[in-house]
Structure 1
């Protein structure tokens, strides 16, 4: 299992409603995506960074998803280039089924 944290930073605050609309518009392709266990769209407390967090069942799928083409596309959507961090998930708690 691998986690991927994608961070978009800019000098002005992200508009919360804009980020919420991006999340709503883009959620469809991720629903039922093979290998993707979890994805969240987030905004940090001061609104300066938008973050997306992914949990992939397979490291290869997680890494191969972030092509140069995709990175360019999301940079245009968010108005800022993403910083992509790959994280080794060593433990996971999922309470969604309870």
Structure 2
């Protein structure tokens, strides 16, 4: 498994309702996506960082997803270019079934 942390940073605070709207509008394409276990849309406490966290089954699928075209598209949506970090998941707890 691999985690991917995508961070958008603005000098002004992100509007929480705008980030929630983005999450609602972009949720559909991720539901049932092959190789993607989880995706979350998050907003830091300070409000200047919007973050998306992905958990993928396979590193190749994760890296193939984040194309230049995708980065350009999400830059337009969030109004800031993302930084993308790939993280080796060495342990995972899933309580969603309980």
TM value normalised by structure 2: 0.99
Residues matched between the structures, number? 98
| Cα distance in 1 for residues equivalent to 2:15 and 2:21 | 10
Q: Deviations over 1:56-92 (max 9, x none)?
A: 0011001110000000000000000000000000000
Residue 71 of structure 2 is matched in structure 1 by 71
Q: Which runs of 5+ in 1 are unaligned?
A: none
CA shift for structure 1 position 31: 0.2
Residue 34 of structure 2 is matched in structure 1 by 34
Q: Which runs of 5+ in 2 are unaligned?
A: none
TM value normalised by structure 1: 0.99
Runs of 4+ in 1 over 4 A off after TM superposition: none
Match runs of 1:38-53 below 5 Å? 38-53=38-53
* Alpha-carbon RMSD: 0.3
CA shift for structure 1 position 6: 0.1
| Cα distance in 2 for residues equivalent to 1:77 and 1:62 | 20
1:7 aligns with 2:11: no
